[in-house]
Amino acid sequence: MAGDALIELRGVNKHYGALHVLQDIDLTVARGEVVVIIGPSGSGKSTLCRTINRLETIESGTILLDGVPLPQEGRALARLRADVGMVFQSFNLFAHRTVLDNVTLAPVKVRRQRKADAERRARALLDRVGLAAHAAKYPAQLSGGQQQRVAIARALAMEPKALLFDEPTSALDPEMINEVLEVMRQLAREGMTMVVVTHEMGFARSAAHRVVFMADGRIVEDRAPEEFFAAPRSARARDFLAKILKH
Ligand SMILES: Nc1ncnc2c1ncn2[C@@H]1O[C@H](COP(=O)(O)OP(=O)(O)OP(=O)(O)O)[C@@H](O)[C@H]1O
Ligand SMILES: [Mg+2]
């Protein structure tokens, strides 16, 4: 697997002013691998995700996608963004566009797909996330769980090499969390490369190949979920798990 790294961070550092938010981050995600990132609030999980598709710049280190360093700007950067889909806590759908438009806009504009082709693929993707009947609706007419599934379909429509999820279920009511996690589990089974920041430990146990625990801008543990949950090595991870498993 080591020869087939899709995402590779080597010695990545980033500051926000005096705050050293990412400290010597080394992380490799193989093709088809699902890596769950956990850790206390403020530990740098979102920042790490955002550096991977260069929504944030870094000060030192390198990030490779499919063996190629992240481009600095311009067309190459736009192409990279299209290769790494991102799903956020807050869905970020276009409110004044239908569900179908939300899924077809980028493939038509960025991937230059013909509208009819993009729509055909979008309908297939909406079917896959259980929303075939909702294509003509607007985001506000959907539940949070449905909106997040549209966001996933929208990301998939770009045929990304990898998907990043930053707390995709944190804004959802409990009864909707599972319908989103189920779509993500299905993607994992199909071999999608995924980096997932989440507090859903059930998902981490069942779907992740590796769990990365972050604290204070560092990767403290990077291990198989069964090992990590059975016996976290660091006091920080033990404290963190004790807190969140109580909820
Ligand atoms: N744009 C910014 N400017 C300055 N500081 C920032 C900025 N974005 C994040 N930070 C700080 O960087 C640290 C890491 O933030 P980040 O959002 O990556 O943490 P996180 O692990 O995702 O936390 P949470 O679990 O609360 O989402 C925090 O201390 C945060 O306040
Ligand atoms: Mg965050």
Summarised one tens digit per residue, pLDDT across range 123-145 is 999 999 999 999 999 999 999 99
**pLDDT, tens digit, for every residue of 79-121?**
788 899 999 999 899 999 999 999 999 999 988 999 999 999 9
Instruction: Determine the straight-line distance between the first and last CA of the chain, rounded to whole angstroms.
Output: 36
Nearest CA to ligand 1 atom 26: 41
- Helices and strands counted in the chain (H then E): 9, 10
Q: How many angstroms is it from 44 CA to the middle of ligand 1?
A: 6
Which atom from ligand 1 is nearest to the alpha carbon of 48? 18
CA–CA gap between residue 38 and residue 219 (Å, rounded): 10
Which atom from ligand 1 is nearest to the alpha carbon of 44? 18
Residues 65-92, mean pLDDT to the nearest whole number: 86
pLDDT tier, 247 (very low <50, low <70, confident <90, very high otherwise): low
Q: How many angstroms is it from 198 CA to the middle of ligand 2?
A: 9
**Residue-level pLDDT at 3:** 59
Ligand whose nearest atom lies closest to the CA of 244: 1
DSSP string for residues in 74-139: HHHHHHHHHHEEEEETT----TTS-HHHHHHHHHHHTS---HHHHHHHHHHHHHHTT-GGGTTS-G
Does the pTM exceed 0.85? yes
